[in-house]
Chain A
């Protein structure tokens, strides 16, 4: 399993990767900037994402909305920001490839001359509405913020979520935008993938034509911070929900670090899917929960692993807490069974194969090449990535789980209906998330 590709660097430092695949007359353009919310400062959270919005509002030589010419050419396009990176992509019919590169290079090289206070205010309003829609007005929508705030100290860059705090977004200034652009949006901090109906020579020549003229920009910075969690912290949030939900979270290995794949497999066998241990005991047999889930959220600098469960009517989060602990402890004693390992591998293989089906968009081949290139400096990592899962043994899963889950340092978050603090796990401290 691999994504055949070639890689080169322009003189200004821009990484260019080309993957040829001629099955459809389309090309995927995918640009990563190695900047995310972890590059933000306390008091200015949410800024990397707000900036991403401004990248769609026009640049010096085409100072109108970014979508119009590309949609007219038949493109699909979007962008996204997370803690570690910001990505932008277009999937275009082959004849529109130059248009997409013109547009991407113009906003990489010439965004600021087109930036106005009006655009800035408008997109800040849009982002505040995105925050209302996806977090404030959504059941359990503030749980993620409360969790990361409790997992990391206030000056740690994973302490806040990418959407940021509303008051920080209000406080952002146009000068912040300019400084951010100069520091992070330039070829040396970017990586371009072209995938699809194109060969290496064409791809590199076009990349040169459109991106060579952009100055390289300052050397990148690497954010390095460590955090540890020694004690159990119990917190609670009141929310407009009818069924309370419990989250238990631990620090875990960083993305691609030792133990990351193992922890991913542990999360799946504990609580993902109807054949997982917690589904079987909490939902199927005892019926004290109405859903369960788990995730190994691995990021560049550190990871966190969480298990969540929503109480069935009439059941308390203390019951769920006790039942989850029993299952986790049992796993920490006995480790996984052989069938569980086999299922995990089959699922991983199907998952990897499924991701090879699309050239572009979020999670397609071009996005994966960039992820491996930006985080590992190795765009050809796919086979090794799958190998991490293939090599996982019962002993390795057990060892990783004991290391990650087998101690008192964790966060237990109870989300309860407003006014029903009594449903939370005993000893929880109320927190505000706004």
Chain B
């Protein structure tokens, strides 16, 4: 082989095909769905349960109830105390991971395959038969109140909370999963018990298993572990599985809001508006558009704010695709003295893609390639595969979804991008939220031209 030709970059030929592994599906006696991928390269199994109720199902007066309930799952079961449960997981080198998102609750456990039976049994005890004892609820409530106190010091968390609250006022997406101090203090054990009873139903849940296990063996093990999950939906409290589908409040103008943070070294920025739901037919073109705008390192927003201006360590945009309409968001953290300039630059990028600088052919190809060519690496680990299945379940997508995805992206053209940009990007009604040192910002903010900011008090 001769040496390198440095006069040009090597060409990249051909895209190796990727096929998503087969999914084995079954349903147990009480309605629990079971999805399995056999992947035996390492002696590991990842379990992931999708419960289709999350923080959007919190009752209006009790934001944070789903999340508190999730936290209570591994805090005691049957005759086991909370410590006993934690010890039992530790003995198999694992712990239960509970993630309460807006639309659903994900409960995960990765174990060495020789511990799968014990893992499943513990998993089932936690999900189906948590003790939900008063003393444990009190203890966990206090830990969560402490966490809320700590989050007040964390600028990104303050920004996320204030932004969602303003954007989704009165809507189930208008609060973060952890909820509010007032609501946490008000929740009773009865509230937790009722939420658990209404949300954790075999007929609504799906258990995913990916790893070193045969689907058939798995079915028997799951039957054994979850056999007692007999509570029926008709007999259970209604948690409002579809509350997130409500239409978010309509806004017709630009708004500016500031949360003061004394002597902050940076301003935390959130710019955005209500976006599209995951079910939008424009999903693939919106992913491409987002790549160009702020979806990866070489996007317009990051190149402008980081690589050209040096204002920030990084800036990005995202469409947060949910069951209901999630936010479109540009987020970054910039040096205090350039805050107003960074906001103006961000606005300019979003406006220009609609007006005088639409996505061009070269940018389009770059974005499409970035989304499709390295696609296989998203499916390397058992946990990645389990999460991929959870997406299919959460959004009712076909089994062939991942095999078809690259083609969906590759068919997007510049005209489609221009159309979806006009339909889904709205700088004219964007909310701009700044968490920063208000006195240091005061004079420069006027130059943005968004009027006087609303001054928010951190929750």
Contacts and interface: CB of A to CB of B under 8 A. Distances in A.
A132 interface: yes
Interface stretch (B185-193, B244-252, B367-375): B367-375
Interface string B128-172: 000000000001001100110110111100000000000000000
A61 to B, nearest CB: 4
Interface in A337-389: 339, 342-343, 345-351, 353-354, 356-360
A74 B13 CA distance: 12
A356 B261 CA distance: 43
A353 B93 CA distance: 11
B87 interface: yes
Contacts of B266: 129, 132-133, 136-137
A26 B110 CA distance: 24
A139 B154 contact: yes
B45 to A, nearest CB: 11
Interface stretch (B199-207, B275-283, B303-311): B303-311
Contacts of B268: 137
Given A91-B377, A126-B306, A346-B91, A69 B83 contact: no
Interface in A177-227: 197, 205-206, 208-210, 212-213
B92 A346 contact: yes
Contacts of A346: 90-93, 112, 115
Contact of B154 (A138, A280, A354): A138
Interface stretch (A236-244, A301-309, A320-328, A394-402): A236-244
A205 B3 CA distance: 10
Interface stretch (B345-353, B378-386, B439-447, B448-456): B378-386
Contact of A125 (B1, B3, B310): B310
A360 B377 CA distance: 9
Interface stretch (B4-12, B30-38, B231-239, B395-403): B4-12
A54 B377 CA distance: 27
Interface in A245-271: none
A93 B366 CA distance: 15
A415 B10 CA distance: 53
B142 to A, nearest CB: 7
A422 interface: no
B61 to A, nearest CB: 25
Nearest to B297: A67
Interface stretch (A80-88, A145-153, A282-290): A282-290
B142 A312 contact: yes
Nearest to A74: B373
A73 interface: yes
Interface in B247-265: 261-265
B83 A129 contact: no
A275 B84 CA distance: 8
A121 to B, nearest CB: 7
Interface string A115-136: 0000001111111111011101
B380 A24 contact: yes
Contact of A65 (B146, B298, B313, B374): B298
Given A346-B93, A357-B380, A68 B298 contact: yes
B393 interface: no
Interface in B1-55: 1-4, 6-7, 9-10, 12-18, 41-44
B1 A209 contact: yes
Interface stretch (A6-14, A35-43, A99-107): A99-107
Q: Give the size range of A's interface with the partner.
A: 35 or more
A209 B83 contact: no
Contacts of A348: 93
A73 B312 contact: no
B413 interface: no
Nearest to A56: B297
A136 B265 contact: yes
A98 interface: yes
Given A275-B90, A343-B90, A129 B313 contact: yes
Contact of B93 (A60, A69, A124, A350): A350
Given A71-B296, A129-B312, A287-B142, A350 B12 contact: no
Nearest to A210: B4
Interface string A40-81: 000000000000000000001110010111011111100000
A313 interface: yes
Contacts of B115: 346
A76 B90 contact: no
Given A350-B110, A357-B381, A133 B333 contact: yes
A72 B366 contact: yes
Contacts of A93: 12, 15-16, 373-374, 376
B335 A132 contact: yes
B95 interface: yes
B375 A102 contact: no
B86 A102 contact: no
Contacts of A430: none
Interface string B94-105: 110000000000
A10 to B, nearest CB: 12
Nearest to A110: B6
B310 A121 contact: yes
A318 interface: no
Nearest to B149: A242
B206 to A, nearest CB: 23
Interface in B389-433: none
Nearest to A57: B307
B334 interface: yes
B10 A243 contact: no
A428 interface: no
Contact of A99 (B12, B297, B372): B12
B374 A26 contact: yes
B4 A102 contact: yes
B14 to A, nearest CB: 5
A347 B379 CA distance: 24
B223 interface: no
- Residue from the set B10, B89, B92, B143 with the largest chain A CB neighbour count within 10 Å: B10
Contacts of A359: 380
B111 interface: yes
A353 B115 CA distance: 14
A309 to B, nearest CB: 12
Contact of B335 (A96, A129, A243): A129
B10 to A, nearest CB: 4
B3 A137 contact: no
B365 interface: yes
Interface string A310-321: 101100000000
Contacts of A342: 91
A275 B75 CA distance: 12
A284 B77 CA distance: 16
Contacts of B330: none
- Residue from the set A67, A105, A208, A243 with the largest chain B CB neighbour count within 10 Å: A67
A130 B313 contact: yes
12 contacts: A25-B18, A69-B9, A93-B15, A129-B313, A132-B266, A132-B335, A136-B266, A137-B155, A213-B3, A274-B82, A290-B146, A312-B146
Given A25-B376, A106-B6, A133-B313, 20 more contacts: A24-B377, A26-B376, A68-B366, A71-B298, A99-B10, A126-B313, A129-B312, A130-B313, A136-B265, A137-B266, A241-B153, A273-B90, A273-B95, A275-B90, A343-B87, A350-B92, A350-B112, A351-B93, A357-B42, A357-B382
Which 3 A-B residue pairs are closest in the complex by CB-CB distance? A74-B373, A125-B310, A346-B93
